[in-house]
Amino acid sequence: MSERSTAIQIIPDPTSIKLVEPKSLFDRVHKIHEQIERRAYEIFRGNGGIFNHDTDDWFKAETELLHPVHITVAEADGSLTAKAEVPGFEARDLNISLEPRRLTISGKRESRNEEKQKGKTIYTEQCSNEILRVLDLPAEVDPARATATLKNGVLELTMPKAAEAKRAAVKTA
Q: What is the pLDDT of residue 77?
A: 84
Q: What is the pLDDT of residue 161?
A: 93
Condensed to tens digits (0 to 9), the pLDDT of residues 78-135 reads 999 999 999 888 888 898 989 899 998 988 887 777 777 777 766 666 666 888 888 9
Would residue 39 count as lying in a domain? no
- Is 53 a member of any domain? no
pLDDT recorded at residue 58: 84
> Considering the domain boundaries, does residue 81 fall inside one?
yes
Query: How high is the pLDDT of residue 103?
Result: 92
Residue 60 lies in a domain: no
pLDDT tens-place string over residues 5-22: 444 444 444 445 556 676
**CATH no. for residue 119?**
2.60.40.790
Domain residues for the domain of 77 are 9-20+67-160
The total of structural domains in the chain comes to 1
Residue 32 domain flag: no
Classify residue 147: in a domain, yes or no: yes
DSSP string, the chain: -PPP--PPEE--SS----B--HHHHHHHHHHHHHHHHHHHHHHHHHTTS-TT-HHHHHHHHHHHH-B---EEEEEETTEEEEEEE-TT--GGGEEEEEETTEEEEEEEEEEEEEEEETTEEEEEEEEEEEEEEEEE-SS-B-GGG-EEEEETTEEEEEEEBPPPPPP------
Amino acid 1: pLDDT: 44
The answer to whether position 133 is within a domain reads yes
- Residue 112 belongs to a domain: yes
pLDDT in tens, 135-164: 999 999 998 889 999 999 999 999 999 887
Per-residue pLDDT averaged across 69-83, rounded?
93
